[in-house]
């Protein structure tokens, strides 16, 4: 045996450990199981018929019920945490996220990230790291591709920072880039009553607002179980001993948990929005804590036909989630910022049958 190195436990990268162009190959490939789908369902109560029933999925053209898009997203995201955001102060945003291939139980996900931007903060204590992360299946095909940026602590405030480099990010994924993960479906075989709503793609109007009505209270055990399901080990979600001494005095709920809760709430009003084709942008405006009750509302930002497809169309949806505040008044901005109960501002493209 060789002499031991100082420590074999990883402390995670600090801001000065990143450089633009750096490629990170993330650990822990993960086979998606039927059991993961069951747990995901039980954690969020999601009711989209395509993901819920093999019969419904097969009737419209899927080989079987696919894995929920956001479950796959969170698994890919989780892989990037030990290499990118173990020392993160905050997960600032997402952009240009595309879902490129339908996934099924038995598929295995792995992930890589490339550093595409770096910008030190003025206080020199931290900086923003931009990464483009790609998730792959067992065939090496890219299944999810997105950019996120995160504020990461510096190990040493005096360390020299690279020249600022901020990537140029699209405001939204273009309609021509949507739908690759959705097979051509038989829209006539899509059963609205079983799906839970008579409203198809053409029934929604730009500017239409939908209060999703219901609220769901989050427990510590729930968000911890969910976040571990994604093998996401960011310290802030699990360690009350250290977080109790920190900024909030509480464990912070993983932002992706909030997104999945809001998406599940949105079923009431968007039951036929069965597939998340892209996330144009997402901001975690404020933290959510155990004991808080989450509500959500959505606005239809745009509707787009998909080139060459008469079976489905895309809606660009902005979903706002608020804590401890029902959304009948559609809370969002107030003056310069968000109303104080807003926690999530998510802009995504969903696919609906035409």
What beta strand segments (E) does the chain contain? 23-25, 30-31, 88-99, 108-120, 126-136, 142-153, 209-211, 216-217, 275-284, 293-306, 309-323, 333-334, 337-338, 342-353
Considering only 17, 114, 208, 299, the residue that binds a second copy (CB under 8 A) is 208
Alpha-carbon gap, residue 300 to 181, rounded angstroms: 22
Which lies closer to a second copy via its Cβ, residue 157 or residue 328? 328
Considering only 206, 247, 310, 337, the residue that binds a second copy (CB under 8 A) is 206
Does 121 bind a second copy (CB under 8 A)? Our answer is no
Considering only 224, 283, 309, 339, the residue that binds a second copy (CB under 8 A) is 224
Residue 30 contacts residue 231 (beta carbons within 8 Å): yes
Smallest gap from residue 134 Cβ to a second copy (A) = 15
Does 270 bind a second copy (CB under 8 A)? Our answer is yes
Structure tokens at 316: 């660009």
Does 204 bind a second copy (CB under 8 A)? Our answer is yes
Smallest gap from residue 57 Cβ to a second copy (A) = 9
Does 195 bind a second copy (CB under 8 A)? Our answer is yes
Alpha-carbon gap, residue 227 to 90, rounded angstroms: 16
Residue 243 contacts residue 251 (beta carbons within 8 Å): yes
Does 65 bind a second copy (CB under 8 A)? Our answer is yes
Considering only 119, 153, 235, 283, the residue that binds a second copy (CB under 8 A) is 235
Does 247 bind a second copy (CB under 8 A)? Our answer is no
Stretch that binds a second copy, among 4-12, 126-134, 165-173, 180-188 (CB under 8 A): 4-12
Alpha-carbon gap, residue 192 to 269, rounded angstroms: 13
Does 36 bind a second copy (CB under 8 A)? Our answer is yes
Does 293 bind a second copy (CB under 8 A)? Our answer is yes
> Left (φ > 0), alpha (ψ -120 to 50) or beta: where does 12 sit?
left
Alpha-carbon gap, residue 220 to 227, rounded angstroms: 11
Smallest gap from residue 150 Cβ to a second copy (A) = 19
Does 183 bind a second copy (CB under 8 A)? Our answer is no
Stretch that binds a second copy, among 122-130, 153-161, 178-186, 209-217 (CB under 8 A): 209-217
Residue ranges in 136-199 assigned as alpha helix (H): 192-195
């Amino acid at each position: 045996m060789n002499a031991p190195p100082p420590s074999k436990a990883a402390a995670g990268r600090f801001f000065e450990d990143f450089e633009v162009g750096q490629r990170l190959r993330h650990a822990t490939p993960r086979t998606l199981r039927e059991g993961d789908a069951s747990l995901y369902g039980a954690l969020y109560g999601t009711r989209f018929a395509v993901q819920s029933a093999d019969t419904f999925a097969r009737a419209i053209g899927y080989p079987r019920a696919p894995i929920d898009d956001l479950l796959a997203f969170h698994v890919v995201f989780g892989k990037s945490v030990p290499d990118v955001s173990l020392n993160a102060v905050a997960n600032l945003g997402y952009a240009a996220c595309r879902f490129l291939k339908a996934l099924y139980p038995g598929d295995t996900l792995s992930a890589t990230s490339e550093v595409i931007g770096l910008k030190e903060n003025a206080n020199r204590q931290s900086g923003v790291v931009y990464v483009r992360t790609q998730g792959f299946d067992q065939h090496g095909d890219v299944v999810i591709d997105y950019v996120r940026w995160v504020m990461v602590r510096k190990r040493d405030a005096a360390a020299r920072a690279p020249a600022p480099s901020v990537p140029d990010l699209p405001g939204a994924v273009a309609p021509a880039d949507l739908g690759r993960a959705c097979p051509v479906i038989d829209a006539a075989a899509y059963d609205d009553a079983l799906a839970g709503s008579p409203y198809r793609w053409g029934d929604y109007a730009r500017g239409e607002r939908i209060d999703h009505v219901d609220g769901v209270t989050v427990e510590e055990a729930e968000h911890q179980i969910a976040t571990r399901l994604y093998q996401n080990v960011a310290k802030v979600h699990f360690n009350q001993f250290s977080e109790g001494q920190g900024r909030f005095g509480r464990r912070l709920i993983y932002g992706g948990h909030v997104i999945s809760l809001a998406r599940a709430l949105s079923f009431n009003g968007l039951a036929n929005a069965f597939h998340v084709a892209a996330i144009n942008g997402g901001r975690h405006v404020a933290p959510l804590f155990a004991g808080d009750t989450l509500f959500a509302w959505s606005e239809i930002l745009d509707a787009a036909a998909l080139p060459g497809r008469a079976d489905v169309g895309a809606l660009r949806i902005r979903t706002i989630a608020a804590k401890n505040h029902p959304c009948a008044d559609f809370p969002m901005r107030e003056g310069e910022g968000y109303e104080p109960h807003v926690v999530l501002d998510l802009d995504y493209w969903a696919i609906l049958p035409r």
